[in-house]
A and B are shown apart, each in its own frame.
Chain A
Amino acid sequence: MDVVDESDALPEDPSRTGDAIIEARGIVKRFGGAVAVDSVSMAVPPGEIHGLVGENGAGKSTLMRVLAGILSPDRGAVVVDGEELKAGDTRAALEAGIALVHQELSLVEEMTVAENILLGSTPTRAGLIKTGELKRIAAEALDEIGVSVDLDEPIGRLSVALRQFVEIARAVARKPRVLILDEPTATLTPTETDYLLDMLQRLSRRGLAIIYISHRIPEIFRICDRVTVLRDGRHVDTAAISDTRPQDLVDQMVGRQLALDLQTHRVPAEPGAVVLQARGIRAPGVDGVDLEVRAGEIVGLGGLVGAGRTELVRAIIGADLRSAGEVTVAAGGRTRRVAGIRAAVAGGLAYVPEERRTDGLALTMTVAENVALPNRGRLSRSGVLLFRKIADFALGLARTVGLRPPEIRREVGDFSGGNQQKVVLAKWLGRRPDVVVLDEPTRGVDVGAKVEIHRLVKDLADGGAAVLMVSSDLPELLELSDVIHILRDGRIVGTLTAEEADEKLVMSLASGEATVAA
């Protein structure tokens, strides 16, 4: 550790843990072949707010789920007050005083505020719920965080922000000694965020140890005493906040060699006419966005999870409702308004969603059948499918996308994630789309398949398609995009060309560390 702090009583070295309440020792967690958390150690003493930062997929949430006993680590241990906690046991963790406020809200909509606050630890006498005490404890917890809400109101009727506070009250009601919050401000407005941060500082002054995960660097600097950076599942650094600059954190979070990624950058073809044009798009999570994509151009959408990127593309193509805004596609000498997704697809648009397993593929159908789905018109006569034609068509596409093995009669579910994604792309390639919208095209895909998918995307653009791509993978975003829009809170907060964009700049804009585009 490169930080030495003489004045502070807090241990700067995570291995020196004399007065820590909670300690992670060499935690390793794998999912299948992928290592999500790789030998990470950290320790938090009482009264400290400990920031935990890292890019999407750095392993922050996984580590916290291990601490809370939801996941069982493959190696390493969670130690509370010097005693090893039973691995993967939620109850043991709760009893040891560890409370986790989840990123996804985990409340039961049909139950009341009071019942949710004490879910799993409802006070009872002989099995009967003690309603008076239930409400008293719930009211105390809400009091402690200074939020007033009707205890008998079903959760389903509360706003998202209020639910977030109920979730925190629920953690506080368990009288925890360690409070873990995973991106609690993602859905909050600035005022609500202020309120939450003040509240956390109050709680920490009473001796609570708080682990605070956030993508928003300013929040980290406002409330945290120390901060730990994770990257690709590994511990990068733990330092006192007073010895850290915002730029350092971003550097440590990103920390890749940029030259490598720039090598493969496509030489952008002469951009053609504007094909996809979106104006004033508003939808849940999207707050007024204008953008355009030209023929042969790849436009990337960067930003953090929850910034509204997926919501934006779904609103643009008409897959989800939009409350305002107009989208047009100009292709083949005609300009059409995009209303619903069906009409959009009929008009030459291809959409590859984020959740390919649920949204993009019929896993129990064969490769040939999947590929034929959006091309039924050409592959049938009078409504009867022409199997010979489908086979030829599918085989040709399988070769183009490099499907391995190129067996078009196998069920899609039998293929690896990367190959499944190739099938999704093949499905749309067959239509020679004018507009291609990709959402996280290489998530969960191995490196080899990733390179091939990148090649396909570039080929699509070189072939004249207008490509709009959402990606949380920074090198990918930088490698493929000709123009990058960075979203935060449903708005475009910066637009960078391929030449001026680099990982640090994108990350700074996405996290709100920098506010003006360079």
Chain B
Amino acid sequence: MVATGTWITQPVAFTSYQVTLGRIALVGLVALGLTAVILMGELDLSVASTLAVAGVVMASIDNLALGIIAALVVGLLIGAANAFLVVVVGINSFIATLGMLFLLRGLAFVISDEEPVRLSNIDAGISFGKPLIGEFTPRILLFIFTFIVMHLFLTRVRVGREFYAVGGNRQAARDAGIPVRRRIFTGFMISGLVAAGSGVINALERTAADPTAGSTVLLSSFAAAIVGGILLNGGRGSVFGTLLGATSLGILQVALTLSVVQVDVQNIIIGSVLFIAVISDPNSIRAVSGSVRSFLRGGSVLSKPSVDPKEATNNG
């Protein structure tokens, strides 16, 4: 919907698709990782800080390959630490990862000595920013790759599929013998790994790791997942939805920038899009209209047809 609107008003957003794709890939990648966690009804607020720490860790190690590996391992460890706090210690994931958000951001500054760390291998960074296949930069290719892997994981792999059960009906998952705690660990580690990967990509493209990197990514990536139709309570959503969400928001943002709309106004528009996306979701549209109507009528009793279980029953 947003894409079509933009097509009409700002075809430039499509002709300068490289900028658009770059924007989508930045937010979308983090959002893909987040999807794994939100599907289980948990939150991960530490993704942006993870991104920063991973970048700084990578840049602090002279050997590029070693640096990348170290950064990804750090991402996995952060995910495991988040899961430990949530599953073993029993802290609400909002609070646990909020703590992690501050802790890691501080850590990024300490490691980097409060300065952007330049990559020792600048050439690698410069070539990383260039198109690799056709017009696609490695960042975009990695984003597409991650999307495909996550999509297959959540639809074809048993462990990923069971994320839906953990988020949709945790007691049922437990009763069915699904190791719920292990699944939550896996989810947080995916989120941490993907966020760290984004940090690596970011640092490579800029040929330097900035401890302040990614501060705008956190809420944008949540917005992308939500516009993509994910349910914060868990159980509903898909990486395809998240991709659509990230795409819509990315196109919108680039289009607004190209139309010389001020950033403040852009934020107002993005906020409105978020509301519209959530309200216009076919699953919530009935509930929303119902509650608005009853609010306007001062809480009077509405007539609502009762559901007849016999109607849909098919006794073979």
Given the contacts A108-B235, A109-B168, A339-B301, A159 and B311 also touching, CB distance less than 8 Å: yes
Contact in complex: A110, B235 (CB < 8 Å): yes
Q: Does B133 contact A (CB under 8 A)?
A: no
Q: Does A380 contact B (CB under 8 A)?
A: no
Residues of A near B174 (CB, < 8 A) are 90
Contact in complex: B312, A108 (CB < 8 Å): no
Residues of A in contact, count (CB < 8 Å)? 51
Docked Cα-Cα span, A342 to B295, in Å, equals: 12
Contact in complex: B315, A195 (CB < 8 Å): yes
Contact in complex: B310, A161 (CB < 8 Å): yes
Chain A interfacial positions (CB closer than 8 Å to B) = 68, 70, 90-91, 94, 100, 102, 106-111, 115, 119-122, 124, 127-129, 131, 146-149, 158-162, 187-189, 191-192, 195, 282-284, 318, 321-324, 339-343
Docked Cα-Cα span, A284 to B235, in Å, equals: 26
A327 nearest in chain B by CB position: B301
The 9 A-B residue pairs whose C-beta atoms are closest, nearest first, are A120-B176, A340-B299, A106-B172, A159-B312, A108-B168, A120-B177, A119-B176, A91-B177, A339-B300
Docked Cα-Cα span, A8 to B7, in Å, equals: 80
Interface of B is mostly: loop
Residues of B in contact, count (CB < 8 Å)? 39
Residues of A near B298 (CB, < 8 A) are 340, 342-343
Given the contacts A107-B169, A111-B168, A147 and B316 also touching, CB distance less than 8 Å: yes
Contact in complex: B312, A162 (CB < 8 Å): yes
Interface of A is mostly: loop
Docked Cα-Cα span, A148 to B316, in Å, equals: 5
**Interface contacts beyond A106-B172, A159-B311: sample of 5 additional A-B pairs, CB < 8 Å, sorted by A:** A129-B157, A159-B310, A160-B307, A162-B312, A342-B298
Docked Cα-Cα span, A317 to B157, in Å, equals: 49
Given the contacts A94-B177, A107-B169, A323 and B304 also touching, CB distance less than 8 Å: yes
User: What's the minimum C-beta distance from B18 to chain A, rounded to whole angstroms?
Assistant: 35
Contact in complex: B178, A342 (CB < 8 Å): no
Docked Cα-Cα span, A148 to B162, in Å, equals: 25
Docked Cα-Cα span, A192 to B309, in Å, equals: 10
Contact in complex: B178, A119 (CB < 8 Å): yes
Contact in complex: B313, A282 (CB < 8 Å): no
Most chain B Cβ neighbours within 10 Å, of A148, A195, A339 = A339
Q: In the complex, which of the residues B171, B303, B314 contacts A147, with contact meaning CB atoms closer than 8 Å?
A: B314
Contact in complex: A192, B315 (CB < 8 Å): yes
Q: In the complex, which of the residues A70, A115, A192, A341 contacts B175, with contact meaning CB atoms closer than 8 Å?
A: A70
B166 nearest in chain A by CB position: A108
B310 nearest in chain A by CB position: A189
Residues of A near B305 (CB, < 8 A) are 323
User: What's the minimum C-beta distance from B155 to chain A, rounded to whole angstroms?
Assistant: 8
Residues of B near A161 (CB, < 8 A) are 309-310, 312-313
Residues of B near A122 (CB, < 8 A) are 158, 161-162
Query: Which residues of chain B from 115 to 158 have any CB-CB distance to chain A below 8 Å in the complex?
Result: 156-158
Residues of B near A149 (CB, < 8 A) are 314
Given the contacts A108-B164, A127-B158, A340-B301, A119 and B173 also touching, CB distance less than 8 Å: yes
User: What's the minimum C-beta distance from A439 to chain B, rounded to whole angstroms?
Assistant: 19
Given the contacts A283-B306, A323-B304, A342-B298, A106 and B177 also touching, CB distance less than 8 Å: no
Contact in complex: B172, A129 (CB < 8 Å): no
Over the window 169-187 of chain B, the binary record of Cβ atoms lying under 8 Å from chain A Cβ atoms (1 yes, 0 no) is 1011111111000000000
Q: Does B159 contact A (CB under 8 A)?
A: yes
Contact in complex: A146, B316 (CB < 8 Å): yes
Q: Does B302 contact A (CB under 8 A)?
A: yes
Q: Does B165 contact A (CB under 8 A)?
A: yes
User: What's the minimum C-beta distance from A72 to chain B, rounded to whole angstroms?
Assistant: 13
Q: Does B236 contact A (CB under 8 A)?
A: yes
User: What's the minimum C-beta distance from A93 to chain B, rounded to whole angstroms?
Assistant: 9
User: What's the minimum C-beta distance from B241 to chain A, rounded to whole angstroms?
Assistant: 12
